[in-house]
């Protein structure tokens, strides 16, 4: 098991939705454009070091999301991805 976690776009989206914030509202808290926030949430690009801390600060300070909640969301996302990978591998497995 990993000792650390990295902030992922899907986790940012989950936390934002948990607080019922729109992308526009969240982008104002972070100082990052709404388009870039949406791209990061869809994980279509990597989060720069500078924006990583902007996102993290907004989650912690403005949305009052704890590190434990961020870690829990990360585990949920990773579990779902692993589950999808297992299902994909099982579909390709030929039983005789």
Asked whether residue 1 is domain-assigned, the answer is no
Torsion from C-alpha of 71, 25, 28, 43, nearest 10 degrees: 50
- Rounded Cα distance between 44 and 11, Å, is 14
Cβ 45 vs Cβ 39: under 8 Å: yes
Q: What is the pLDDT of residue 82?
A: 86
Asked whether residue 3 is domain-assigned, the answer is no
**Helix/strand/coil for 45:** coil
Q: pLDDT digits over 32-54, tens only?
A: 999 999 999 999 999 999 999 99
Cβ 45 vs Cβ 35: under 8 Å: no
Q: What is the pLDDT of residue 58?
A: 97
Residue 96 pLDDT class (50, 70, 90 cuts): very low
User: Which residue range forms the structural domain that includes residue 36?
Assistant: 9-92
Share of the chain above pLDDT 70, in %: 88
Dihedrals φ, ψ of 81, to 5°? -65, -40
Asked whether residue 4 is domain-assigned, the answer is no
- Rounded Cα distance between 78 and 91, Å, is 20
Q: Which two tokens stand for residue 75?
A: 């585990």
Asked whether residue 2 is domain-assigned, the answer is no
Which is more confidently placed, 31 or 86? 31
Asked whether residue 27 is domain-assigned, the answer is yes
CATH code: domain of residue 55? 1.10.260.40
Domain count along the chain:
1
Asked whether residue 47 is domain-assigned, the answer is yes
């Amino acid at each position: 098991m990993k000792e650390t976690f990295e902030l992922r776009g899907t986790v940012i989206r989950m936390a934002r939705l948990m607080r019922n914030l729109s992308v526009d509202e969240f982008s104002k808290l972070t100082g990052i454009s709404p388009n870039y926030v949406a791209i990061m949430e869809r994980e279509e690009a990597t989060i720069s070091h500078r924006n990583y801390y902007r996102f993290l600060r907004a989650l912690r300070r403005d949305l009052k999301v704890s590190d434990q909640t961020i870690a829990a969301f990360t585990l949920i996302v990773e579990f779902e991805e692993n589950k999808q990978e297992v299902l994909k591998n099982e579909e390709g497995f030929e039983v005789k």
